[in-house]
Structure 1
Amino acid sequence: MDDHITDALSRPAVLRLDERTTCLRFETMKVASALTAVRHLLDRGAIARGDTLVDSSSGIYAHALALACHRYGLKCHIVASTTVDATLRVQLEVLGATVEPMPATPSLKLDQNRRVARVREILRDNPRHHWMRQYHDEVHYLGYRPIADLVRRELGASPLALVGGVGTGASTGALARYLRETDPDTELIGVQPFDSITFGSEHVRDPDIIIAGIGSSIPFANVDHTLYDTLHWVGFDAALAGSVALLRDHAVFAGLSAGAAYLTARWEQRVQPDRHVLFLAPDTGHRYVEAAYSRHRQATPVDELRPHQIDGTDDMSLPWSRMRWNRAPAPPAAVDVPDGAGRLVTR
């Protein structure tokens, strides 16, 4: 029996969609990383009960951090993206979090930059607050070890290809790192939106982008680019097609990044027939109903889609591009500049 809802939310459903495809389906994936990160910081004495934890979020991490703070008797301050909807905001407030929404902006890039700048202002005025640094601190990798262990128990020694949104790098990067302890040949396939600097797609605009949580307009220090074998850049229309297909074919109601990962997983099945493909569905589809699922009748059948196979990032194009990354280092624009905030490395 679990002692707190975070225990249950930290465990994904392991769904075998067919003989060669498995979905790790979470309600709120970042609970696993936030919970373990907070517990680790408490154990080290870096924070104490009653302290205030602060961070910026576009949604999933805000919920995860508020739940972890609720469990461990901590205060929580969230600088919220314009993508945080009323349903989530009410949950955060009832959990005891202070939610500071950013003003509406037509640019998710501007929204992300302003959120981080606001966090710095809060820390300047409240030096005892602790910045969780979900974009920069590898402490967020730690919570994925139990999930990697679960994967190996469920799938055995099958050669794996792991597919998922890159985001801050903690979920896919951590799972690949831990899975490679027993199988160094585990393939890691990252999913990115267009207009993200993390893997060099900032020059390609997607006018309908609302999957910014898996990409970034600023450098993320805890993305280890050298872990990734292949990258897929998936636009809104292709992600919508994948999301609708995942729900229609397998009854899995998940967010747009899960749809993009499902689309990617189907393709990787074709090009890597000797591997079992495991993909991540990090959240439910509820907050995408109006902006995405309401267009389900317009969604392209996934069998009609295929990625542009490219050899360099200059060649990518909508709605979907694929490139072998071959565990190369970060592109120059994605390299984080140290800011003296005391990055905690936990490799």
Structure 2
Amino acid sequence: MPVTSPTYRSITEATMMPRLIRLAPNLYAAAFTLMKTLPARYILKRAAERGELDRGTVIVETTSGTFGLALAMQAALMERELILVSDPAIDDNLYRRLTDLGARVEICTEPAPTGGFQQARLRRLAEIRAQLPDTFCPEQYSNPDNPRSYQLVVEQLAGTLGVVDCVVGPVGSGGSMCGTVRGLREHTPHTLAIGVDSHRSVLFGQPDGPRELRGLGNSLWPPNLDHGVFDEIHWCDAAEAYAATRALHGRHALFQGPTSGAAYLVAKWWAERHPDEMCVVMLPDEGYRYQATVYDDSWLADNGLALETLPAAPTPVASPSEARDGWTRFAWGRRTYDAVPGAVARLAAPPPAEPVREPEGALS
């Protein structure tokens, strides 16, 4: 009998879904090649169906990571112009890949006084949109098509694993965790959601500050983040996330990025303490961008990020204000943000950037 394999219409279609990999009897990894391919493809396809993405429409977005790469891949396949606004966190290899795919990348070199680089990027994005006659912004932080796209993952998990008792994953825009967990709870309301954040991210109540660990956390509150979805929040440091990333590779041969390592650290701990319950951990992207950093022992040592042993368990805290450095855990309890004591007041968040009107032809 001839061996057949599925065929795909594009690389984004072929890679948008995760592989489900058994890490322990009650722990499965939803391991993505590039998780952001799923919402990027869905958002652009839906925009085209609604007539919001004509041939002359320029796609514009702010990103410093994998959502930009996913957009660049899909925009190239759809033959659409793409402008990305980023910041110095973007690495040279990613920059080259984005430009090779035809994207124009603008770098904001100075952070905004409030909201950091993310607010600076939003302001530059508004300027660019004001100067162009026809643009479409995917707006991953606020577009409901972002969490909506993960319904496909919901169907995959439920169809393959049956009842999922707990989902653990990193939180940035809020799309993957909120979309996946809300979908699962339509059938299993008890399903727990454990979000993994980085210290000095405002998402779950800490004050904004510099963060070594990228790819999760935020300096602004994204509208797609539904705080009432989450049962627990864990914060961890870069060194812990990097060491867990290496442990995931060394133990399971899963070559993933540091956001995956952070999620794996938490999921392994939870699954070991709940052996009769099924846990799924979301692993957003592969490790190729991090070969010269996370996977380089010399780089880790030179930057003071080498960690010989992982902590055995998180330190519980009574409020976000008590979460200092190190792996910490807080019982969020599916509450709204404002219902959680010790969280930084939302009034600290900067207002949305307003478009700045420039003279015609100002965009170079």
TM-score of the aligned structures, taking structure 1 as reference length? 0.90
The 1:107/1:163 distance shift into structure 2, 3 A limit, reads: farther
Match of 1:190 in 2: 195
> Tell me, what secondary structure is at the counterpart of 1:154?
helix
Match of 1:259 in 2: 261
Equivalent of 2:337 in 330, 340, 343: 330
Report the AA paired with residue 29 of structure 1: M
The total of aligned residue pairs comes to 336
Hey, what's the Cα distance between the residues in 1 that align with 2:158 and 2:29? 14
Report the RMSD for the aligned CA atoms in angstroms: 2.4
Equivalent pairs: percent with the same residue?
A: 29
The 1:277/1:71 distance shift into structure 2, 3 A limit, reads: same
Hey, what's the Cα distance between the residues in 2 that align with 1:191 and 1:106? 26
Report the AA paired with residue 32 of structure 1: L
Q: Does 1:120 align with 2:126?
A: yes
Hey, what's the Cα distance between the residues in 2 that align with 1:173 and 1:119? 26
CA contact (8 A) 2:249 2:255 kept: yes
1:180-216 Cα offsets, whole Å, 9 max, x none, are 111111111000001111101226x67xx33332111
The within-5 A match list for 1:71-150 is 71-103=77-109, 110-150=116-156
CA contact (8 A) 1:245 1:301 kept: no
Match of 2:359 in 1: none
Equivalent of 1:274 in 264, 273, 276: 276
1:221-265 Cα offsets, whole Å, 9 max, x none, are 110111111100111111112111101111111111111100000
Task: Give 5+ residue unaligned stretches, structure 1.
Answer: 342-347
Task: Give 5+ residue unaligned stretches, structure 2.
Answer: 1-6, 339-344, 356-364
Hey, what's the Cα distance between the residues in 2 that align with 1:41 and 1:105? 31
Q: Bigger radius of gyration, 1 or 2?
A: 2
Match of 1:344 in 2: none
Report the AA paired with residue 216 of structure 1: N
Q: Which 10-residue stretch deviates more, 244-253 or 102-111?
A: 102-111
Q: Which 10-residue stretch deviates more, 229-238 or 138-147?
A: 138-147
1:83-114 Cα offsets, whole Å, 9 max, x none, are 22222222211211111123277999622221
Equivalent of 1:321 in 328, 331, 340: 328
The 1:275/1:107 distance shift into structure 2, 3 A limit, reads: farther
Hey, what's the Cα distance between the residues in 2 that align with 1:95 and 1:7? 17
Following superposition, the deviation at residue 78 of structure 1 comes to 0.5
Hey, what's the Cα distance between the residues in 2 that align with 1:312 and 1:271? 23
> Tell me, what secondary structure is at the counterpart of 1:212?
coil
Following superposition, the deviation at residue 48 of structure 1 comes to 1.8
Q: Which 10-residue stretch deviates more, 70-79 or 22-31?
A: 70-79
Following superposition, the deviation at residue 336 of structure 1 comes to 8.2
Q: Which 10-residue stretch deviates more, 186-195 or 108-117?
A: 108-117
Equivalent of 2:308 in 296, 300, 306: 300
> Tell me, what secondary structure is at the counterpart of 1:258?
helix
